Structure 1
């Protein structure tokens, strides 16, 4: 991959405010990660008080499914369809819990374990971050 293509990818990352980008073309591949120079205030970095309420609950109650990527969470296959899961529903490992859209690609969020859904910790259409708790199981 030539340097001009890489520069174009960097410009795309800046334009779309992307943090990570991986491209594979034949045997060529490139992985780019953006690091921001803005320092995080030390209080926010060390204090658990800044964890949002649903995330704080997820840390203390039951196991959770976390987002494997940055993207938009969708609870249903389309706006007119019922959600994949609801609180109180029993799921098996491998069941689809929702969809995370990243770069116009719909990626299923699958259960990594069997259990009963306690809560959906994000709203339909919310942007989720890598590692963010999305679904909490009953403990």
Structure 2
């Protein structure tokens, strides 16, 4: 296997959301493994600045509103295929600007022929759909950005 082919395989593996891949061709065997991405709970951007020097704290202060504008994300609880609607051509569960109640379905993830509904963690407004319909998502990957109400 040429180096370019190996790099292309590694790149596709990284984007796939898979955690293990074994590839064998013409006597060559490659095994790729990675741990699933951890679920990250983001803290306010100003928290690390409290330990920084005063000049750095002043520089970090304008970043705090931007972090708040990002909102909270709903992350993929499993690896699979993201679906924004119950079926092709139907209305999306949660379009940007839509207000949803806690427990309402925001989207679906299909894994191993099983559909898993992803519920709203709280009463919220969907700010943005981050995942693309019909594409693979990895564990912990942000699916939607929401704002609690």
- TM-score tier by shorter-chain length is 0.5 to 0.7
1:50-76: CA deviations, max 9, x gaps?
Answer: xxxxxxx99971001000000000011
Give the TM-score normalised by the residue count of structure 1: 0.58
Q: CA deviation at 1:81?
A: 1.1
Alignment of 1:99-118 (within 5 A): 99-118=108-127
Query: Greater Rg, structure 1 or structure 2?
Result: 2
Equivalent in the alignment of 2:81: 72
1:92-126: CA deviations, max 9, x gaps?
Answer: 11000011000000110111111111000011101
RMSD: 3.3
Contact 1:65 1:136 in 2 (8 A): yes
Unaligned runs of 5+ in 2: 1-15, 23-29, 35-65
Residue 39 to residue 73, structure 1, CA distance change in 2 (3 Å): closer
Unaligned runs of 5+ in 1: 1-16, 21-32, 41-56
Give the TM-score normalised by the residue count of structure 2: 0.54
**Number of equivalent positions:** 95
Q: CA deviation at 1:80?
A: 2.2
